[in-house]
Amino acid sequence: MRPFEYTRASDVAEAGRLTGRFIAGGTNLLDLMKLEVETPAKLVDITRLPLRDIEATDDGGLRIGALVSNSDLAADSRIRNDYEVLSRAVLAGASGQLRNKATTGGNLLQRTRCGYFYETSQPCNKRDPGSGCGAIGGFNRIHAILGVSEHCIATHPSDMAVAMRALDAKVETQKADGSTRILALDDFYRLPGDTPDVENALEAGELITGVRLPKPVSGSHRYRKVRDRASYAFALISVAAVVRMDGGTIADARLALGGMAPMPWRDTAVEKALIGQEPSMATFEKAADILLADAKGQGENDFKIPLARRTLKAVLADATKGA
């Protein structure tokens, strides 16, 4: 690991002015610093900032502080009762030890698990812009099938963010100059295009202060994660769904997918194709056709296209049954 200077931020307003890399749970950043994939000259420890609460908002939703641990988030009774999909998604990720340390802000910003990104002797446009992409034409079993570019095909590995995307969560930030803004997740994350090193809208010194959830969405909440082992493994494909039935038809459907793309993936055309329909395999097939119309395999990850289709159909069948 490269040497670095260490400072502790003591108030939120000051944090961004300390001009260093924020460290929260450290479970992703330190992993990458040990490999010298990340080489910050200065770390700003934000763990003492008062961002550990989950509070009610005026519009009937919740505000999750950036430092709320993944464990505390998943165990919170309001999240378990009103946003079950989020609790389920968080519990499907990492291990008990890691979730105790991992924070809400850090989880959103965790970096890809692409093997070339992790291996500094290999080309990688995300780690070293302009060096090429080792995964295209290389080992790419875990890589993306949607939203990629000729410069990068990496996935975003978070489970939590997938559920948040389905729930229309918004990220609350504070810039170094003290001004604040609120960004929907689809404006927060960036597709790779020709700058795969830029993964989100954050500016230098901009601190995530929290995540806002709108008021609870009723319906069946599901999170289905398909992975190589039953626990403690990243998603090959995951589906977060909140589906509400009215009589025999689908009244509302919110769907986001993980393991598929450089950011948690949501396609409202898929949801539109479901709303107002009676649940049937034919309807679910049509939804999957829309979702996967532009999907493209890279060789080793071709299996993700039929896997995404089957997982989506299974989740929809489960979420609409007996309603």
Ligand X SMILES: Cc1cc2nc3c(=O)[nH]c(=O)nc-3n(C[C@H](O)[C@H](O)[C@H](O)COP(=O)(O)OP(=O)(O)OC[C@H]3O[C@@H](n4cnc5c(N)ncnc54)[C@H](O)[C@@H]3O)c2cc1C
Query: Residues interacting with ligand X, by CB under 6 A?
Result: 21-29, 31, 46, 66, 93-94, 98, 101-103, 105-107, 109-110, 157-160, 207-208, 234
167 sits near ligand SF4 (criterion: CB under 6 A) = no
261 sits near ligand SF4 (criterion: CB under 6 A) = no
**Which of ligand SF4, ligand X, other proteins, none does 154 bind, CB closer than 5 to 8 A by kind?**
ligand SF4
Among positions 12, 21, 30, 191, the unique one binding other proteins when judged by CB under 8 A:
30
Please list the residues that pair with 226 across neighbouring strands.
Answer: 237
Rounded Cα distance between 262 and 148, Å, is: 7
**Which of other proteins, ligand X, ligand SF4, none does 114 bind, CB closer than 5 to 8 A by kind?**
ligand SF4
Among positions 1, 13, 184, 281, the unique one binding other proteins when judged by CB under 8 A:
1
28 sits near ligand SF4 (criterion: CB under 6 A) = no
| Assigned token pair, 299 | 């060789």
Rounded Cα distance between 231 and 220, Å, is: 23
Q: Which is nearer to ligand X, 93 or 147 (CB)?
A: 93
**Which of ligand X, other proteins, ligand SF4, none does 22 bind, CB closer than 5 to 8 A by kind?**
ligand X
Site for ligand SF4 in 177-236 (CB under 6 A): 196
Q: Which is nearer to ligand X, 66 or 145 (CB)?
A: 66
Site for ligand SF4 in 131-150 (CB under 6 A): 133-135
154 sits near ligand SF4 (criterion: CB under 6 A) = yes
**End-to-end CA separation in angstroms for the chain:** 54
Please list the residues that pair with 221 across neighbouring strands.
Answer: 242
**Which of other proteins, ligand X, ligand SF4, none does 47 bind, CB closer than 5 to 8 A by kind?**
other proteins
Among positions 18, 45, 68, 242, the unique one binding other proteins when judged by CB under 8 A:
45
Q: Which is nearer to ligand X, 31 or 302 (CB)?
A: 31
- Three-class secondary structure assignment of the chain: CCCCEEEECCCHHHHHHHCCEEECCCCCHHHHHHCCCCCCCEEEECCCCCCCCEEECCCCCEEEECCCEHHHHHHCHHHHHHCHHHHHHHHCCCCHHHHHHCEHHHHHHCCCCCHHHHCCCCCECCCCCCCCECCCCCCCCCCCCCCCECCECCCCCCCHHHHHHHCCCEEEEECCCCCEEEEEHHHHECCCCCCCCCCECCCCCCEEEEEEECCCCCCEEEEEEECCCCCCCCCCEEEEEEEEEECCEEEEEEEEEECCCCCCECCHHHHHHHCCCCCCHHHHHHHHHHHHCCCCCCCCCCCHHHHHHHHHHHHHHHHHCCC
**Which of ligand SF4, other proteins, ligand X, none does 196 bind, CB closer than 5 to 8 A by kind?**
ligand SF4
Q: Which is nearer to ligand X, 171 or 250 (CB)?
A: 171
Give the interface with other proteins as residue ranges (CB under 8 A).
1, 3-6, 23, 25-27, 30-31, 34, 43, 45, 47, 71, 74-75, 80-81, 84, 87-88, 91-92, 94-98, 100-101, 230-232
Residues that bind ligand SF4 (CB under 6 A): 112, 114, 116-117, 124-126, 133-135, 152-154, 196
